[in-house]
Structure 1
């Protein structure tokens, strides 16, 4: 997938990378899911929860913390799907997998550009809430398409026995992509991953991310 077409230095950003108190454990924890659909749906529910937490927060600091959590989760979720799920569409869904993957990559490009705009905003900006709602509306359209059409088609193909696909194995690989984002809030923390900012992660060519991810130990778990 191409890099962001309009990626520029964000005019403003929080001076420190603040997260909700229980967020670092979430960022650093891996889990076992019976299917890749379960792993992806879990991310979807988390995104919906973070979105609601931003809107319901009653002070600026809390809004910023949930904004940061939402931005990181959506960025790493998008990259995880592009690394693991869309290639699986192309490999196991015959015919139609390539067109499905192309459609979803195009949707992700739109989401990532909207996300880049949102991550540079402050809760006190007049269009903060409107930008978030517009972004989430696009995300929800993508979620519905994936959960009602794309993922059921993939699971059906994997269960059919005509391929050597393993949904649980795909789920484990998808969860491992969480190692691509920081597990600590400070950029100088040890054991940091290849990208320390959302902008850096989103702008990186997907081929470069794939090459680095391929050299991660298969059973490694990020430190809390």
Structure 2
């Protein structure tokens, strides 16, 4: 059975929650750094992929309601990206490292709850009218995550086509930087060329 777009998004949400907990429930600085980097890597890619694939699909399949949902989600994403940019430049030895992640998570968690409770069910209901659309969106969402920036760049355009252009420019730089960052030993490589 193919994965629906809402399933792919919820899977990312659970992974982000896991990485968040790994950081805040540990006192080991190396562990916190590895999972903080993994959290940043996943959240940056997830956010851009939603903006490029999911939000335009909200607008296409849900009309005015979808446009309103997409705009609200873009606003929430911008706030999350601003906080992520601050967090991604910190090290665990900084006394504000965990508090910054907690404040980021509070905003992100509220967005996740709204998305899972309201946006995704309405979206899937609209997608049921066309066979295979949800599954196709899930595939495109996954593919897109391999080629977008892996760090937060809130000053870059957050709406297509600006997001696409900025992603093409910043993604290679982010991916090179990822080579030199520490990540958890048992996670998928952040280098998209190794997937």
TM bucket normalised to smaller: 0.7 to 0.9
Assess if the C-alpha contact under 8 Å between 1:75 and 1:202 holds in 2: no
Give the alignment partner of residue 31 of structure 2, picking from 35, 53, 62: 62
Residue equivalent to 2:157 = 205
The 1:222–1:36 alpha-carbon spacing in structure 2 relative to 1, beyond 3 Å, is farther
CA distance in 1, matches of 2:124, 2:165: 26
Residue equivalent to 1:187 = none
CA distance in 2, matches of 1:35, 1:41: 10
CA distance in 1, matches of 2:107, 2:15: 16
- 1:97 matched to 2:66? The reply is yes
- 1:167 matched to 2:121? The reply is no
Calculate the TM-score normalised by the size of structure 2: 0.79
Correspondence list, 1:185-204, <5 A: 195=149, 198-199=151-152, 201-204=153-156
Assess if the C-alpha contact under 8 Å between 1:89 and 1:154 holds in 2: yes
CA distance in 1, matches of 2:41, 2:73: 19
1:57 Cα deviation after fit: 2.7
Correspondence list, 1:23-172, <5 A: 33-159=2-128, 161=129, 166-172=133-139
CA distance in 2, matches of 1:117, 1:60: 18
User: RCO (CA 8 Å, sep 6+): is it higher in 1 or 2?
Assistant: 1
The structure that has the greater radius of gyration is: 1
Assess if the C-alpha contact under 8 Å between 1:114 and 1:135 holds in 2: yes
The 1:212–1:130 alpha-carbon spacing in structure 2 relative to 1, beyond 3 Å, is closer
CA distance in 2, matches of 1:165, 1:33: 9
1:47 Cα deviation after fit: 0.1
Calculate the TM-score normalised by the size of structure 1: 0.69
1:60 Cα deviation after fit: 1.1
Structure 1: 5+ residue runs without aligned partners? 1-31, 182-194, 215-220
CA distance in 1, matches of 2:98, 2:17: 15
Residue equivalent to 1:180 = 147
Assess if the C-alpha contact under 8 Å between 2:10 and 2:116 holds in 1: yes
